[in-house]
Amino acid sequence: MNKTIQLQDLGNNDYKATWEYQEELFKEIVDLKIRNRREELNLPTPNYFLFVEHPHVYTLGKSGDLSNLLLSEKQLEAKGATFYKINRGGDITYHGPGQIVGYPILDLENFFTDIHKYLRLLEEAIILTLAEYGITSGRSAGETGVWLGAGTPFARKICAMGVRASRWVTMHGFALNVNADLGYFDNIIPCGIRGKAVTSLQVELGVESVSEEEVKAKIVKHFKELFEAEFIY
């Protein structure tokens, strides 16, 4: 069991290019697992964790409803945004500057074989990170992601999640609003959930901006502890 995770920060990177890169890493792991089984080998499978910030883009999961995108193609262009229908779970979400996106591409057989546990630990890494800023967050029943004020009339989502897994290999991941322009969420019904707001770390703290590098370091720290992993850079 290889519990080493290779951390890569891709900076600001095009969504489609990053998706294709994820697919390459995903295929590398899956192909090695198939070879191990076929040739009765025991070669260690690698694990990756990508940090990235995307230019303005809306993505729709495989179970999503296109009507949750409230913009026409021309309106998307006017806002400098792109749109992709992709192969993760979940509905529609937005990615853009000021948002920390994390894509763990893991062979879960190196850790545990439980997708439900994987999602809960992803959420927990964000919950623990926000707690370091004095923000109490948690889960909303039946709704993946991290919320503030869940179960109250003031519920607001700060971190969206959507993953794909095959042969216990994961891709896609989470999107945490740190300094994001929340106005872009007005153009969708986020995650297909009506009547609930979105928020950001910047808004909740009432500051001009939050250090994204500091937030990423905290996420890595908690992810490392929760998954009992070692990161290499």
User: Angle at which helices 115-131 and 212-227 pack, to 10 degrees?
Assistant: 140
183 is written with which tokens? 């106005």
Predicted pLDDT of residue 142: 83
Q: What is the value of pTM for the model shown?
A: 0.94
Predicted pLDDT of residue 195: 60
Residue numbering of the annotated binding site for substrate: 88-95, 160-162, 173-175
Give pLDDT < 50 ranges for the chain. Answer: none
Catalytic-labelled residue, pool 122, 191, 198, 215: 191
Predicted pLDDT of residue 9: 98
In this predicted model, what pLDDT tens digit does every residue of 164-215 receive, in sequence order? 999 999 999 999 999 999 999 988 876 555 667 899 999 999 999 999 999 9
Predicted pLDDT of residue 94: 93
144 in Cβ contact with 184 (< 8 Å) = no
Structural domains of the chain sorted by starting position, each given as residue range(s) with its CATH number in brackets: 4-232 (3.30.930.10)
Predicted pLDDT of residue 88: 86
In this predicted model, what pLDDT tens digit does every residue of 156-166 receive, in sequence order? 999 999 899 99
* Known active-site residue 159: no
Q: Pick the closest to residue 93 from 118, 68, 127 (CA basis).
A: 68
HSE on the CB side for 58, CA within 13 Å? 29
Predicted pLDDT of residue 153: 85
In what helix (H) or strand (E) does residue 28 lie, and over which residues does it extend?
helix 15-39
Report d(CA 77, CA 94) in Å as an integer: 15
Predicted pLDDT of residue 193: 57
Report d(CA 27, CA 82) in Å as an integer: 25
